[in-house]
């Protein structure tokens, strides 16, 4: 059986995959034994999916240092199990030799029983993949590797043949890895982790970006001016708060959506990365003022029209690519010194989703009626909670620029972007926000049933009234597309 098992373990040289921290582990394809009386069994990395795994490479059975290590780790099995971490010992010895060693008592040169299996890597194929193979001696070094529940290698340490490893240090590192945070030197479970969000100060390096200054912050994170040390160019980096990120993949998907856009009025996304455990969106650094400040400083009608047409062009391209901004507002537009606006912060953008229910409008009408009923009865707090769709975890967007459907918890859509653009256009034309004198709660309660088209359109100059009324239509289907808006602004000009 040993020869057969050893042949099953053999792999062609071109299949060796070198291990690297932060990347998927080389595949496991080994036979192991759990004790002297237990039959051999085949194991792969999939057998450990969903739990941590510590691989303990050692040179030889019946040696001097190896039994001290393995018995020390075995004695701490409960500590590893409490951390949902399995252990696996690996050497070049055959399964028969493993069983002999496990069966022999320590005073006879044996190992005695262990609380974890021993695997056979007779040709050193897996040892080569992990970089611990010594071809001159045909054994492996004392390598210890920790693989996370997703199969990614997170820790690697290699000793020479003479020095054993400490399970206490491995458990300390395992604890640190499982915090998901930044752990300083000599960290223990009694210590706190470094808060990377609070440590982002000028001069600090995040990945390969040196922070220069903070440009702004909000509920979803902070934006910094930085220097790309690799490409040697100025960039802006948006560091998202970990507590507000639904999942790493969701952030990547949203940022990739924005990265598809290529237009002079849309901020270019350079990269989407994770640095020091923080999701980071790297974009072009734009000198200029936020549209909020430009409006506050005063806009004449021709300038407002010129800016609005360019902004509409940028949003139109995004919508043609089925990309929803999701949080459009004046603060998310930067106007360069030459007067060119750029839309940024697609932090809530996502690929346009297909409507899940044919009865969506009926459901929305029913929720609107229920909210209004609660308001009429004086139950304002309950009404606010009722505005959040039970299919949604939270409101998405900035309340002062939300569409009626967003205020009820629906996901942002192309039509909701149009509504938000309408509120922004109103602010550009009048010099003040539509709800600057109303509280957020009051506004959210009122928004689903209010007729903003009738309220706000008469307050702007005649050329814009019909367009603004269409932009602010309560029913999403009645709002024009951004392409139509762009053409209408061109006609007004």
Q: How many whole angstroms separate alpha carbon 471 and alpha carbon 480?
A: 7
Q: Tens of pLDDT along 75-91?
A: 999 999 999 999 999 99
CATH code for the structural domain at 205-284 = 3.30.200.20
Do residues 439 and 381 lie in contact, with contact meaning Cβ atoms separated by under 8 Å?
A: no
Rounded to the nearest 5 degrees, what angle is found at the Cα of 396, between the Cα atoms of 393 and 402? 140
Q: Where in the chain is the domain with CATH 3.40.30.10?
A: 2-179
Q: What is the pLDDT of residue 104?
A: 93
The confidence score (pLDDT) of residue 181 equals 76
Class of domain 289-492: mainly alpha
- The pLDDT, as a whole number, for residue 353 is 41
Burial (Cβ within 10 Å: 0-12, 13-18, ≥19) of residue 214: middle
CB 147 within 8 A of CB 53: yes
d(CA 408, CA 385): 9
Q: What's the confidence (pLDDT) of residue 384?
A: 47
Q: How far apart are the first and last CA of the chain?
A: 86
Kindly give, in sequence order, each residue whose CB lies less than 8 Å from that of residue 231, ignoring residues fewer than 6 positions away. none
Dump pLDDT digits (tens) for 297-332: 999 999 999 999 999 999 999 999 988 998 899 999
Instruction: Give the model's pLDDT for residue 24.
Output: 94
Which residues make up the CATH 1.10.510.10 domain(s) of the chain? 289-492
| Adjacent-strand bridge partners of 251 | none
pLDDT of 439? 62
pLDDT at 361: 46
pLDDT value at position 252?
65
Q: Which residues of the chain fall below pLDDT 50?
A: 1-15, 245-246, 351-362, 364, 371, 374-375, 379-381, 383-394
Cβ atoms of 145 and 25 within 8 Å: the answer is: yes
Whether residue 316 contacts residue 417, with contact meaning beta carbons closer than 8 Å, is answered with: no
Q: What is the pLDDT of residue 243?
A: 56
Every domain of the chain with CATH number 3.30.200.20 lies at: 205-284
Unique residue bearing structure tokens 């695997």: 119
For domain 2-179, give the CATH superfamily. Glutaredoxin (3.40.30.10)
Q: Which residues are catalytic?
A: 66
In DSSP notation, 417-476 reads: HHHHHHHHHHHHHHSS-TTTTS-HHHHHHHTTT--HHHHHGGGS-HHHHHHHHHHT-SSG
| CB of 85 closer than 8 Å to CB of 52 | yes
- Angle CA(176)–CA(181)–CA(184) in degrees, nearest 5? 65
* pTM as predicted: 0.63
């Amino acid at each position: 059986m040993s020869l057969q098992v050893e042949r099953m373990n053999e792999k062609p040289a071109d299949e060796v995959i070198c291990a690297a921290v932060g990347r998927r582990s080389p595949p496991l394809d080994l036979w192991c034994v759990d004790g002297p009386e237990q039959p051999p069994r085949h194991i792969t990395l999939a057998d450990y999916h969903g739990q941590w795994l510590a691989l303990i490479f050692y040179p030889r059975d019946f040696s001097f240092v190896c039994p001290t290590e393995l018995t020390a780790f075995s004695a701490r099995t409960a500590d590893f199990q409490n951390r949902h971490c399995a252990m696996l010992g690996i050497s070049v010895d055959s399964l028969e030799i493993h069983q002999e060693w496990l069966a022999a008592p320590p005073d006879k040169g044996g190992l005695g029983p262990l609380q974890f299996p021993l695997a056979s890597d007779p040709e050193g194929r897996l040892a080569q993949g992990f970089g611990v193979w010594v071809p001159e001696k045909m054994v492996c070094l004392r390598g210890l590797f920790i693989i996370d529940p997703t199969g990614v290698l997170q820790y690697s340490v290699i000793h020479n043949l003479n020095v054993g490893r400490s399970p206490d240090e491995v458990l300390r590192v395992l604890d640190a890895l499982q915090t998901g945070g930044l752990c300083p030197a000599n960290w223990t479970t009694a210590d706190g982790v470094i808060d990377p969000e609070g440590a982002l100060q000028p001069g600090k390096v995040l990945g390969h970006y040196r922070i220069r200054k903070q440009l702004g912050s909000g509920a979803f994170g902070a934006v910094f001016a930085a220097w790309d040390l690799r490409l040697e160019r100025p960039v802006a980096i948006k560091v998202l708060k970990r507590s507000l990120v639904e999942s790493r993949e969701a952030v990547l998907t949203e940022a990739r959506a924005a990265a598809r856009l290529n237009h002079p009025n849309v901020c270019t996304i350079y990269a989407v990365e994770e640095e020091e455990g923080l999701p980071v969106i790297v974009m072009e650094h734009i000198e200029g003022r936020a549209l909020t400040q430009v409006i506050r400083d005063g806009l004449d009608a021709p300038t407002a029209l010129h800016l609005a047409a360019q902004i509409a062009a940028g949003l139109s391209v995004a919508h043609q690519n089925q990309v929803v901004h999701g949080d459009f507002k004046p603060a998310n537009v930067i106007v360069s010194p030459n007067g060119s606006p750029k839309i940024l912060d697609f932090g809530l953008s996502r690929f346009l989703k297909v409507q899940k229910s044919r009865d969506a409008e009926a459901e929305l009408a029913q929720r609107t009626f229920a909210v209004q009923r609660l308001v009429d009865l004086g139950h304002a707090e309950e009404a606010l909670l009722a505005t959040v769709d039970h299919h949604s975890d939270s409101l998405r967007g900035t309340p002062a620029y939300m569409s009626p459907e967003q205020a009820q918890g629906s996901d942002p859509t192309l039509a909701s972007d149009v509504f938000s653009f309408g509120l922004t256009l109103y602010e550009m034309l009048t010099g003040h926000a539509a709800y600057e004198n109303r509280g957020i709660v009051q506004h959210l309660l009122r928004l689903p049933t209010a007729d903003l088209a009738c309220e706000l359109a008469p307050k702007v100059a005649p050329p814009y009234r019909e367009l603004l009324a269409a932009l602010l239509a309560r029913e999403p289907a009645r709002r024009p597309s951004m392409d139509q808006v762009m053409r209408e602004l061109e006609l007004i000009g």
